[in-house]
Amino acid sequence: MEKGLTNATKALLTGCSAGGLATMLHCDDFSARFPREVSVKCLADAGFFLDVMDISGERSFRSYYDGLLHLQNVQKVLPKDCLAKKDPTECFLSVELIKSINTPMFILNSGYDSWQIRNVLVPDPSDPDKSWLSCKDDMSNCNSTQVEVFDGFMDTMVDALKVVEDKEDWGLFIDSCFTHCQSIFGLSWNSAISPRLGNKTIAEVVGDWYHGRSQGVKEIDCEYPCNPTCNSLLPT
């Protein structure tokens, strides 16, 4: 604030991946630092982490969430209404965090998030015979059964986001591209090969939401491989 943020008329808190999750955690606290007349919004990119079972039937990533929670003493910033009913690790998950955020938020995520597919859905220990190795490296190598598993991952994400459908000041851009973190790369954000939904790039959709050019900016893609704007050159 001492560097000039106290004079802001608009402020945007954003981050990608772990920074996207941190954006959700601290969004309301960030907003509370400004006078009411300041327009404060948050953009979480690739931070909507799911607590799903991996392909071996184990919820193997839960231990990482639990470890982070205790290592960084995250519990003190978790939503109190959630903590009153649920385990702290559960309240640390994106699906619970979004229920308590009051500040306008934009969630940018791939429904086929490449990092989560490789580390949450198909971590190395879940695939000892490495039959998924080429698939999780490049989705074009996947067979129909493997794609169906990934479709289920996107369905879970879209279902989890239904709680924000009626929040008019929230925005969504959930594409079906095999990628992770799309706001920090110009190629993904706003270029000739950027993913498009509603014939608009991510930058254009976020811009419509941020500047209030349209209400209820919520774009959700169809299942892979329906979107021709998903380019193999996108960062994974």
Active site residues: 17, 113, 180
C-beta atoms surrounding 115 within 10 Å: 15
CA distance 171 to 155: 18
Query: Residue 182's closest CA among 62, 46, 74?
Result: 46
Provide Rg for the chain, Cα atoms: 18
- Do residues 74 and 92 make contact, with C-beta atoms less than 8 angstroms apart? yes
